[in-house]
Amino acid sequence: MAAVFDLDLETEEGSEGEPEFSPSDVWPHGELRAAGLEPVGHCEEVELTETSVNLGPERIGPHCFELLRVLGKGGYGKVFQVRKVQGTNLGKIYAMKVLRKAKIVRNAKDTAHTRAERNILESVKHPFIVELAYAFQTGGKLYLILECLSGGELFTHLEREGIFLEDTACFYLAEITLALGHLHSQGIIYRDLKPENIMLSSQGHIKLTDFGLCKESIHEGAVTHTFCGTIEYMAPEILVRSGHNRAVDWWSLGALMYDMLTGSPPFTAENRKKTMDKIIKGKLTLPPYLTPDARDLVKKFLKRNPSQRMGGGPGDAADVQRHPFFRHINWDDLLARRVDPPFRPCLQSEEDVSQFDIHFTRQTPVDSPDDTALSESANQAFLGFTYVAPSVLDSSKEGFSFQPKLRSPRRLNSSPRTPVSPLKFSPFEGFQPSPGPLEPTESPLPPLLPPPPPPSSSAPLPIRPPSGTKKSKRGRGRPGR
């Protein structure tokens, strides 16, 4: 973790009559000459300032970046597209996430999650996880400078297509599996997997973003109890607060897989309470057009008992990778990004924001004045926030909430969508998914009932290696709201 030290380099004035320092005070002339040095009669005085002493990495701050567009907005701040206008990487385009300290420090959990996000972004390097270039702070704000993922959210493309073909879903799910497996190997659980948090690069590969709800140091056998996530993708053990581990990410991947292949998450209802009831004890219904391998994987991901869930055992991601649904995937090629993505964003330039919501991109980009003065004790929570990526150093020789996130609405196919009310959950009050309080889940959750046998259907198409030929995309469109 990088740290910033402010040193007072001004020296005290010497007493009158004290002789000036001379090299000969330390080394006699004879020893100087023996060392190949000559004594000099005059020594140049150099003022010790930041410019003359700190000749290493540049001093990074908001002044180094030009605001271009607004890409998103949340309860804690905004995300901008920016251009670097000073120092190294001049002209490079980034995404700048700006968080307000005053809103974060109100809750100790939010402060902890903010620090965890910054630490994870620094420590985790993976082809399918967003890269952090810089982190810095001002008196009232925190700044994360991230790589700009101009392909937009996977959510946008899923909304546009309605549903994905199985080979398309297979590609995205496989890349996400590698990303989750890497996080888990570092003792990190993600806990907020959903289409809105999966971005596409300009080449069409996925990148996980928004690590505000991650939990560190969850290794084999460890559990945590924080109630967080996005309802439609939350595992039942989070809802009943029985303690959860990395298996919750595989439930979320199963819900995401179901969403990709059918047009909505597997358990939805007219309000959040009923949605939670369905997740805890509802039947899983699978459409008949899914192939046997897809059906089998979805059912195994959505096992309510975490120990029986696909990926929930000691094998973690390795068990997922061995499932027949992924039998056409060459995992080494996929990790090296040698496999053609099913969709490559059509971008006119590095600054193209056509894949982002025009509700944001049409706004005037303004980083409002930083006029909040925090106490010294409050600012202690953000010590060590500053960071410069090693890749940036080499070339010179970056709103979450503790409360469950609200699911963004999406146009539907044929299945009902869960309207989400703007009500917030209090982290200090239990949520009642049924008229009475939930009993602790010492007994196993009710198993899923098997769906009717599917008609015979073909296996998912193989993922093709790079060939220069893109396959045509087909899918059922979603009616407008």
Residue 194 lies in a domain: yes
Q: Do 385 and 257 share a structural domain?
A: no
**What local confidence, expressed as pLDDT, does residue 388 receive?**
83
37 inside domain: no
Domain count, the chain: 2
Residue pair 130/361 in contact (Cβ under 8 Å)? The answer is: no
pLDDT of residue 26: 46
Check if 6 is active-site.
Answer: no
325 and 216 both lie in a single domain: yes
Model pLDDT, residue 453 = 47
pLDDT, position 442: 34
pLDDT of residue 351: 92
Assigned domain for 306 exists: yes
Known binding residues for ATP: 97
Q: Do 66 and 165 fall within a single domain?
A: no
Annotated binding-site residues read 97
Query: Angle at Cα 218 formed by Cα 214 and Cα 222, nearest 5°?
Result: 135
Q: Are residues 195 and 311 in the same domain?
A: yes
Which backbone phi and psi does 257 adopt, to 5 degrees? -60, -45
Domain boundary residue among 335, 364, 379?
Answer: 335
DSSP type of residue 230: B
**CATH number of 366's domain:** 3.30.200.20
Buried b / exposed e over 413-426, threshold 16 CB at 10 Å, is beeebbebeeeebe
Task: Give residue 164's pLDDT.
Answer: 96
pLDDT at 117: 85
Give the β-pairing of 132-137 and 141-147: antiparallel
332-340: Cβ within 8 A, 24+ apart: 333/465, 334/174, 334/175, 334/178, 334/463, 335/127, 335/178, 336/127, 337/127, 337/203, 337/205, 338/465, 338/466, 339/171, 339/463, 339/464, 339/465, 339/466, 340/464, 340/465, 340/466, 340/467, 340/470
Would you say residue 372 lies in a domain?
Answer: yes
The C-alpha atoms of residue 158 and residue 169 are separated, in whole angstroms, by 10
Same domain, 159 and 279: yes
Say yes or no: 109 and 192 in one domain.
Answer: no
Residue 183 confidence (pLDDT): 96
Same domain assignment for residues 98 and 201: no
Examine the domain organization and report whether 167 and 184 are in the same domain: yes
Catalytic residue among 110, 192, 210, 249: 192
Q: Which domain holds residue 252?
A: 154-335
Q: Judging by beta carbons within 10 Å of its beta carbon (0-12, 13-18, 19+), is residue 277 exposed, middle or buried? A: middle
pLDDT at 35: 55
pLDDT in tens, 53-106: 444 467 889 999 999 999 988 767 789 999 999 888 899 999 999 988 888 888
- Residue 54 maps to a domain: no
Report the CATH number that the domain containing residue 302 is assigned in CATH.
1.10.510.10
Regarding whether 260 and 379 lie in a shared domain, the answer is no
Residue 99 falls within a domain, yes or no?
Answer: yes
In a domain, 429, yes or no: no
Measured between alpha carbons, how far is 346 from 151 in angstroms, rounded to an integer? 8
Beta-bridge mates of residue 146: 95, 132
Q: In the chain, which residues have pLDDT < 50?
A: 1-27, 32, 48-56, 393-403, 411-481
267 and 300 share a domain? yes
Residue 115 lies in a domain: yes
Query: Of the candidates 258, 360, 369, 238, which has an alpha carbon nearest to the alpha carbon of residue 304?
Result: 238
According to the model, what pLDDT value does residue 474 have?
37
Separation between Cα atoms, residue 224 and residue 242, nearest integer Å = 9
Say whether both 185 and 251 belong to one domain.
Answer: yes
Say if residue 246 is in the same domain as residue 356: no
